[in-house]
Structures are given as C-alpha cells and as structure tokens.
C-alpha cells in the first residue's frame, strides 16, 4: 500500500510539473509516450461496434432457450456489451438464428434481417440453422446461408450457452477486423469444398489451386498474366 501511495504521489507531481511547463527533454517525451495511443478512425469504430452490439429479440425453436440464458448472471453477456436485446429490427445490428428455419419462415427472417441497422451480423446457432440438422426434409431450409449471409456458425444440438458465447467472441474479433482463421486455412485443406470435387470425391489439382488462390490474402496473390 505504501508503494502504491508513493507511485500515485509521483504521478501527481509529474502532472503538476507538466501543467506548470517544468517538464522538458526526456522527461516530457516519456510522459507523453506513456499517455498517447495512435490508431485509425476505422479501428476505433470497429472496436466500439464490437463491444456495443444490439442483438435482435428473435427466437425460432429450442435453441432460443439457450440464447435466453446468455443474459443471466451465470453467463452474463453484459460483460461484452450485448445484453440489450432489442424488440425492433430498426434498433438491432445482430441476429442470432436460434433454431430451425422452415421454408415458410425464411421470407420472414429475411425481411427482419433487411430491416436491421447497417452494418449488421448474423450468428447461426445450432445444427438446424447452420445445416438443417436432423430435419433433412422439404419443409426446413438446409442452412440459413441459403437465403441470407451468415458470419458465424455455432455447432451443437442445442449448443450450450458457453458455445454461443465463444461464437459471439469470434464475431467480436470479426467485427474488429481480426477474424479467426477458418478450418481450411488452419489445416491447409483448400480444395475440399463441395464445388471443387470430382464425382469420386477427390478434388482436382486445378480445383485445389483455384481454392488456394481464393482464400489467400490479397497481398500474396500473384498478378494476373498480361
């Protein structure tokens, strides 16, 4: 405690000297370097957005129960600034698709998404909204990304609130402009996409090369042939 008091007193004296104009040379440089942070406006905006997301109050099926648990004291999504679920799409910028999406419900979900604020993000929660899950039939859309953009997929049936929180944290990093690598990038699995396969299931060398170019960063891509 005594050391903390001395450190506080030293900071107070340095602040007083700065106001008086007594700090000069190296002392002034150190004082300024300790208190300044340089960044860009875009980074500041993305940081603010990632910590002030407004989810849409929108539940589709049983996964909605797990989504509701996010605001309880046990999981407390308020730690990440996203506890204010909005009842109007015009006040929300994040949608959590918590359950299966039927063919009849897809146009309604899309309309709600179109009415949300820009920029906006979507989390597909659970196997049903991500890929249709156990409902492999004509009545359920086999993945919400068939009719709207999806940023994060959270697997599970249903996923626990911890899994949804993990997906939300991934979305925060995506909003900040620091997205996690996909599994194809992590495990060097370019070319395993469905569109890149032979009928036998093995990707062609040309497909592997095209897929590698598609996921490569822009600064590493070779310029097109003249």
pLDDT of residue 210: 65
Distance CA 226, CA 221 (A): 15
Q: What is the pLDDT of residues 58-103, one digit of tens each?
A: 888 888 888 888 888 888 888 888 888 888 889 888 999 988 888 9
Q: What is the pLDDT of residues 143-182, one digit of tens each?
A: 888 888 888 889 888 889 899 899 999 998 888 887 777 7
> Which of 17-26, 30-39, 131-140 is least confident?
17-26
Please tell me the chain's helix, strand, coil percentages from 3-state DSSP, rounded to the nearest 5: 50, 10, 45
The CATH number that domain 54-175 falls under is 3.40.50.12280
First to last CA, the chain: 70
Distance CA 24, CA 22 (A): 6
What are the boundaries of each domain within the chain? 2-33, 54-175, 183-220
User: 0.75 exceeded by the pTM?
Assistant: no
């Amino acid at each position: 405690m005594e050391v903390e008091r001395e450190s506080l007193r030293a900071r107070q004296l340095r602040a007083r000297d700065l106001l008086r104009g007594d700090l000069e040379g190296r002392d002034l440089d150190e004082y300024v370097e300790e208190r300044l942070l340089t960044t860009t406006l875009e980074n500041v905006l993305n940081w603010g957005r990632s910590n002030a997301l407004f989810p849409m109050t929108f539940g589709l099926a049983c996964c909605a129960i797990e989504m509701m648990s996010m605001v309880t004291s046990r999981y407390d999504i308020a730690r990440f600034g996203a506890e204010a679920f909005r009842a109007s799409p015009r006040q929300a910028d994040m949608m959590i698709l918590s359950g299966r999406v039927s063919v009849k419900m897809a146009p309604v979900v899309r309309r709600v998404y179109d009415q949300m604020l820009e920029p906006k993000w979507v989390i597909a929660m659970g196997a049903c909204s991500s890929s249709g899950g156990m409902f492999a039939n004509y009545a359920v859309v086999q993945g919400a990304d068939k009719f709207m953009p999806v940023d994060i997929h959270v697997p599970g049936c249903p996923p626990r609130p911890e899994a949804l929180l993990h997906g939300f944290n991934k979305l925060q990093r995506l909003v900040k402009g620091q997205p996690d690598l996909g599994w194809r990038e992590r495990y060097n699995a370019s070319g395993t996409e469905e569109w890149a396969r032979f009928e036998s299931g093995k990707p062609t060398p040309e497909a592997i090369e095209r897929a590698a170019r598609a996921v490569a960063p822009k600064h590493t891509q070779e310029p097109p042939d003249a």
